[in-house]
Amino acid sequence: MKKNLLLATLLLTTTAWAQKFEGLALTPPMGWNTWNTFAANIDERLVKETAQTMIDNGMRDAGYVYIVVDDCWEAKDRAADGTIVADPLKFPSGMKALGDFLHSKGFKFGIHNCAGTRTCADFPGGRGHEYQDALRYAAWGVDYLKYDWCNHGTADARETYKTMRDALHTAGRPIVFSLCEWGQNKPWEWAKDVGHLWRTTGDITNCYDCRKKWSMGWKVILDSQVELFEFAGPGHWNDPDMLEVGNNGLTLAESRAHFSLWCMLAAPLMAGNDVRNMSKEIRDILTDRDVIAIDQDPLGKQAQRWETHPDHEVWVKQLSHDEWAVCILNPGPVPAKITYAWKELEYYFKGNYQVRDVWQKKNLGTTSSNFSGEIAPHDVALFRLSRLTDG
Ligand code: GLA
Give the separation between CA 42 and CA 186, rounded to whole angstroms.
31
- Are 291 and 321 in the same domain? no
- Are 133 and 232 in the same domain? yes
Residue 391 confidence (pLDDT): 42
- Are 315 and 285 in the same domain? no
Residue 167 confidence (pLDDT): 98
- Are 362 and 245 in the same domain? no
Residue where a domain terminates, one of 239, 263, 295: 295
- Are 178 and 213 in the same domain? yes
- Is a pLDDT exceeding 50 seen at residue 1? no
- Are 263 and 345 in the same domain? no
Compute, in angstroms, the gap from residue 203 CA to the centroid of ligand 1: 7
Give the separation between CA 219 and CA 256, rounded to whole angstroms.
13
Residue 165 confidence (pLDDT): 98
To the query of whether residue 288 is one of the catalytic residues in this protein, the response is no
| CATH number of the domain bearing residue 332 | 2.60.40.1180
Task: Quote the Cα angle for 49-52-57, to 5°.
Answer: 120
Name which residue sits closest to atom 8 of ligand 1, judged by CA: 203
| CATH number of the domain bearing residue 273 | 3.20.20.70
Give the separation between CA 43 and CA 323, rounded to whole angstroms.
43
| pTM: predicted TM-score of the whole model, two decimal places | 0.95
Give the separation between CA 236 and CA 227, rounded to whole angstroms.
16
Task: Give me the sign of the Cα torsion angle 25, 185, 110, 130.
Answer: positive
- Is a pLDDT exceeding 90 seen at residue 210? yes
Q: Could you report the per-residue pLDDT of 334-357, keeping only the tens digit for each?
A: 999 999 999 999 999 999 999 999
- Are 324 and 232 in the same domain? no
- Are 284 and 327 in the same domain? no
Mean pLDDT for the chain overall: 96
**DSSP β-ladder status, 323-329 and 380-387:** antiparallel
Average pLDDT, integer, range 146-162: 98
Compute, in angstroms, the gap from residue 326 CA to the centroid of ligand 1: 31
Q: Which of 70, 71, 148, 295 is catalytic?
A: 148
Residue where a domain terminates, one of 237, 270, 295: 295
- Is a pLDDT exceeding 60 seen at residue 81? yes
Q: Could you report the per-residue pLDDT of 90-148, keeping only the tens digit for each?
A: 999 999 999 999 999 999 999 999 999 999 999 999 999 999 999 999 999 999 999 99
Are the C-beta atoms of 285 and 242 separated by less than 8 Å?
Answer: no
Rg, Å, the chain Cα set: 22
Task: Determine which helix (DSSP H) or strand (DSSP E) holds 215, and give its type and residue range.
Answer: strand 215-216
Percentage of the residues of the chain whose pLDDT score is greater than 70: 95
What is residue 37's three-state secondary structure?
helix
Compute, in angstroms, the gap from residue 125 CA to the centroid of ligand 1: 13
Show the domain range for 340.
304-387
Q: Which of 87, 100, 203, 357 is catalytic?
A: 203
* Ligand 1 atom index nearest CA of 203: 8
- Are 286 and 323 in the same domain? no
Are the C-beta atoms of 147 and 126 separated by less than 8 Å?
Answer: yes
* Ligand 1 atom index nearest CA of 121: 12
**DSSP β-ladder status, 66-69 and 380-387:** unpaired
Residue 7 confidence (pLDDT): 53
Please report, as a single letter, which amino acid is at residue 262. W
- Are 195 and 134 in the same domain? yes
Q: Could you report the per-residue pLDDT of 252-266, keeping only the tens digit for each?
A: 999 999 999 999 999
- Are 141 and 253 in the same domain? yes
- Are 208 and 251 in the same domain? yes
Residue where a domain terminates, one of 275, 295, 315: 295
Give the separation between CA 303 and CA 294, rounded to whole angstroms.
10
How many domains, in total, are found in the chain?
Answer: 2
